[in-house]
Amino acid sequence: MPLATRHDVFIRFFPQAPAFRWRQIEREFFAVPKKTWAHLLTLPREMRTQLAVRVPWVSYTQSEVFSSKKKDTYKAVLTLVDGARVETVLMANARDQWTICVSSQVGCAMACTFCATGKMGFTRNLSSDEIVDQYRFWRYYLAQHPDLPKRISNVVFMGMGEPMANYDQVKRAVQTWLEFTDLGRTRITVSTVGFLPRLEKLIDDPDWPHVRLAVSLHSADGTTRKEIVPTSYDDFLARLRTWAQNYLKKYGQGRHHLTFEYVMLSDVNDTDMHAKKLARFVNQIGKVRVNLIPYNFTDGKFAKSRETQIIAFKKILEDAGVTVTVRKTMGDDIAAACGQLITQKS
Ligand code: SAH
Q: What distance in Å separates the CA atoms of residue 292 and residue 315, rounded to the nearest whole number?
A: 12
Q: Is the CB of 291 under 6 A from ligand 1?
A: no
Q: What are phi and psi of 344, to 5 degrees?
A: -70, 140
Q: Are 134 and 100 in contact (CB under 8 A)?
A: yes
Q: Residues 63, 71: contact at Cβ < 8 Å?
A: no
Return per-residue pLDDT of the chain as tens, 346 residues.
Answer: 667 899 999 999 999 999 999 999 999 999 999 999 999 999 999 999 999 999 999 999 999 999 998 899 999 999 999 999 999 999 999 889 999 999 999 999 999 999 999 889 999 999 999 999 999 999 999 999 999 999 999 999 999 999 999 999 999 999 999 999 999 999 999 999 999 999 999 999 999 999 999 999 999 999 999 999 999 999 999 999 999 999 999 988 766 689 999 999 999 999 999 999 999 999 999 989 999 999 998 876 899 999 999 999 999 999 999 999 999 887 877 777 766 777 654 3
Pocket test for ligand 1, best of 293, 325, 342 (most atoms within 8 A of CB): 293
Phi, psi of 199 (to 5 degrees): -65, -35
Q: In the annotation, is 338 catalytic? A: yes
3-state DSSP assignment of residue 116: helix
Which amino acid does the sequence have at 63? S
162 CA: nearest ligand 1 atom: 1
Q: Is the CB of 170 under 6 A from ligand 1?
A: no
Residue nearest to atom 21 of ligand 1 (CA): 339
Catalytic residue among 26, 28, 87, 162: 87
